[in-house]
Structure 1
Amino acid sequence: MADMNFTGPEPRLEDLLAARKQLTMHAQDGLCLEGVPLNAIADAFGTPSWVYGAATMRARFAALRDAFAAEGVPMHIHYAVKANDHLAVLSLFREQGAGADVVSIGEFMRATKAGIAARNVVYSGVGKSAAELETALGAGVGQINVESGEEIEMISAIASRLGVVASIALRMNPDVDAGTHAKITTGLAENKFGIAAADIPALYARAAGLPGVRPVGIAMHIGSQILSTEPYRLAYEKGAAMIRALREAGQSVDVFDIGGGLGIGYQDEPGLSPHAFAATVKQVTQGLGVRLMMEPGRYLVGPAGVLLGSVILEKQAGKRFLVLDAAMNDLARPAMYDAWHGILPLDAAAYRSATMPADVVGPICESADQFATDRLLPEIKPGGRVALLDAGAYGAVMSSAYNSRPRAAAVLVDGGRFHLITPRQEIEALWAEEIIPG
């Protein structure tokens, strides 16, 4: 089940709040993230603004790390930069001991700028250009997850010319349905990602004989926002069988990169248990004798972030519309995937008021600029503020300046204090680099 296809009764505001220990309600200060009033942040930096909780990110990393430790399974965690690529976030995970998983040379350079050593970076992605590969190999990237025979040949040529040896893992497409939205599924045969299992043995043997490359193992990633361990079990069993078959054919296989995709709760459900996930990995890989790697993103940062918005007006047009200053250019997931995000008022008094259905929308000239339909919310007068929940992943990284709307500010809460980590974009900056031909 993907995060946009919920069934059953809509959770109450109190239920949404109770399911998120990083959020609390103060009688005077209103909604708080890690004890810091969100109204104070909105007063200081305006809306829309992204707010991230550092303690929440650290706690979720620790929960995942400790779940594997409890199973006695050594796991090398590489944070998936695509989920939230802010330097402050990358630095935080570096301090926790994480490496990085990147899918572009821009992400690679961001990760190293944040202090993550190139040797601790895994370079994934289906369309790496020759120029990108040359930069990454020249910098000493730790591992490249390859997705085609053509890419292996490219890497061999570039690495040979540079005089280096590239460690590569072949990304196997296990043809397993992860049960998520079609646009975030990556492990089916018809998806563009990975190499068909039938082609792996010949390509692995070919790579072993090429100059400049050293095949080290098998990688896979079957999708995002996965809420059951069963798709993982099916995929990893196929991966483990492939590793055994390669070894029987005389190949050296040292690495099993199991990807990421762990789902979170967007309503009041708990999301995928890291302990259940770790137990599944142990069950499938026990005795395999490989170095295990994984690349979580959403699980680590999604619940740590909120998007603050202010009500511009309440419009009555046959139904109730709450029009926010936040929009689909800020948080694109509802428009792209029909994604469900909880919405909480910042004012404590709102929780004592009657709720009524409302469509929560933004000001952009697109019908898709809508965060919620018939959501039960109290009256929120113009200037009143709301928090869109679980927006720490695939939020700011997917934002744009559509309709010439400046990108939102970003703030990090840490240790009871808040810090501006990205200023709000100035309007003039929208066209500062544009050129009108003479």
Structure 2
Amino acid sequence: MTTDTNAHWVSRDAGIVHRPPDGGATDRLVLVRGKQSTIWDADGRAYIDAHAGAWLTQVGHGREELVKVAAEQMGSLAHFTIAMDFTNIPTIELGEKLVRHAPANIAKVRLSSSGSEADDEALQLVRLYHHRRGQPGRTKVLVLRGSYHGRTYGGAELAGGRPGIGESPKGAIALTPPWPYHTELYGGEDLTDFCVRELEETIARVGADNIAAMFGELVMGPAGMVPPPDDYWPRMVAVLKAHGILFVADEVVTAFGRCGNWYTSLDYGLEPDMIVLAKGIASGYVPLGALLLSAEVADTLDMGLHPGSYSGHLVAAAVASASMDIIEKENLLEASRLRGRQFLDELGPLINLPIVGDIRGRGLAVGVELVADKATKRSLFEDFPGLKQEIPRFIRREHGVIAAIHGGAVALTPPLVITPDEVTRVAAAVSDTLTRINPRTGAID
């Protein structure tokens, strides 16, 4: 373990990785160790991790059993391509587990190195699928406005374009997101009725024979942990299937217990044509992404594209399989649901604050949306953009809790092993911080 200070490493970091932090060395943490839901910086200070390292450390930090699995696999065979005539046992075993827990129509697995890569591949495969079925005109994709599907160029296309990277592509059609708090989006109509009607009208206008697929985050994560009404996805997917449009469930965030089940598709009774996975699949111990395909799609594609060099990486597959075993053995799906409800209960009184508009969540994907005006539901960060950095830094500095701002909300997404006492400490830290914010000046008093 390093004996140099956090400030020493922040200085070196600024010369090679990041720009210098705005407020000096204390604004950036050099993390050196973790155990369960606690992590330590280079100065030895402990923090409750309410971010799970980017919503992915499902089984917690410092799991010796995963270290052992990785070391043993590296000692026998670290990696060899699964292209051409080759395969390996960890990849096969992981694939079987992924399919066993998935919706009944899922049959095949493609492994990659990240969720962005898996989303990008899904975009290619939905178009290839229709091409092989003699419908090459089906190239457009439907997405939800404000959604996120990765950082590749394909992810930029699915986001409707990004400034400086590319203009909004003609192939992406953005629909109104299912955001129950923002009733103003639906003109007084029931949210699901509005969105289904919009989808049907869009298909009629564009033509079903021009649309390849719809990509959807089952819970919109980067937008601020936004769960839709329970009838939203079943009704939307029914319309898509009636028109021969594929549905790609982006479960990069929501799977492996983050929202309380192996796949949130199961909670909604969905049978997606493809499911995109990453993050919690290996609890962050190794980079890994996956794309699950229905039997019909897989048969049509004959597995489609050539696998990448790191596809089916033996160490990644072995660790992911062991992580799934921990989730099952320690009943972490149920733990996610219980601790998520505890968060909502303990954060509930915050709704009385003038800056809190909505408190929501599904499992351990919890969001507290902050507003400048409860009547208009205008985001607090429109008036005080600096609070996006100041709030998490205050929580970290004053309470020893690592949380984050996503969209317009404080997002709480800890490891699934977080304890009831730790939930209470995190909720108290968030409550204290938000109570201190002056709604007129944006200052944290």
TM-score of the pair, normalised by structure 2: 0.33
More strand by share: 1
Structure with a larger share of its residues in helix: 2
Instruction: Give TM-score scaled by structure 1 length.
Output: 0.33
